[in-house]
């Protein structure tokens, strides 16, 4: 993994410089620089529009009591897209704009889900009984570390003290 990061940190800037040189020769210096600035502006606008829409969908999912996993993944992709679009370069802009496309995000989500499938399990227990099982079906006891705790319900006092008043013992 470390060698891949090293290759990316060296390879991507070299690729960007090469593409800058080619585009600069084809259309000239000022149009090249204007294109880079324009892609950053368009990317920022797209990020804002899609980010707000994703946030609204996530809130709707939470209001229904569902976990907004799709929206969280889309939000992460949009965050990466925004960072790539603000990075000067045509290659990073191209990848960033691709991440704005829902079919591309769906493809990535599907691949990531297939890769993670079978590697993770989620079990939810209430009073020692499993409510929702993972991929291996229901179990009576959880595997791995179990974190147990106690809690007390805290409620607001019925009559809050008035301003300047005294608390009653």
Give residue 71's region: left, alpha or beta (phi > 0; psi -120 to 50).
alpha
Q: Which runs of consecutive H residues, i.e. helices, occur in 64-166?
A: 69-86, 90-99, 102-116
Dump pLDDT digits (tens) for 130-160.
766 554 444 444 556 666 777 677 777 666 5
| pLDDT(63) > 60 | yes
pTM: 0.65
26-52 pLDDT tens trace: 999 999 999 999 998 998 999 999 999
Q: Cα 43 to the chain's mean position, in Å?
A: 17
Q: 98, 57, 95: which is closest to 75 by C-alpha?
A: 57
Tell me if residue 89 falls in helix, strand or coil: coil
Contact 87, 12 (CB under 8 A): no
What does residue 164 show for φ and ψ, rounded to 5 degrees? Answer: 85, -10
* Domain segments of the chain as ranges: 14-100, 104-144
Local structure of 100: helix, strand or coil: coil
Helices (H), the chain: 2-27, 29-63, 69-86, 90-99, 102-116
| Of the candidates 108, 100, 105, the residue with the CA atom closest to the CA atom of residue 43 | 100
Range scoring the smallest mean pLDDT among 8-17, 42-51, 85-94, 117-126 = 117-126
Q: Which residues contact 125 (CB under 8 A, 6 or more apart)?
A: 131, 142
In this structure, what token pair is assigned to residue 117? 């499938």
| Total number of residues shown for the chain | 169
Q: How far from chain centre, in Å, is Cα 90?
A: 23
5: its two tokens: 């990061």
Average pLDDT of every residue of the chain: 82
């Amino acid at each position: 993994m470390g060698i891949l990061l090293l290759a990316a940190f060296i390879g991507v800037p070299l690729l960007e410089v090469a593409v800058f040189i080619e585009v600069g020769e084809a259309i000239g210096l000022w149009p090249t620089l204007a294109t880079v600035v324009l892609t950053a502006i368009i990317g920022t606008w797209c990020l804002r529009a899609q980010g707000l829409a994703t946030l609204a969908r996530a809130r709707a999912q939470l209001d229904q009591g569902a976990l907004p996993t799709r929206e969280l993944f889309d939000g992460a992709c949009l965050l990466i897209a925004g960072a790539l679009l603000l990075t000067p370069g045509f290659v990073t802009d191209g990848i960033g704009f691709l991440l704005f496309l829902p079919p591309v995000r769906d493809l990535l989500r599907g691949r990531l889900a297939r890769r993670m499938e079978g590697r993770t399990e989620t079990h939810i227990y209430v009073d020692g009984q499993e409510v929702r099982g993972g991929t291996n079906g229901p179990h009576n006891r959880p595997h791995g570390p179990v974190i147990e705790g106690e809690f007390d319900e805290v409620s607001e006092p019925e009559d809050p003290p008035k301003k300047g008043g005294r608390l009653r013992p």
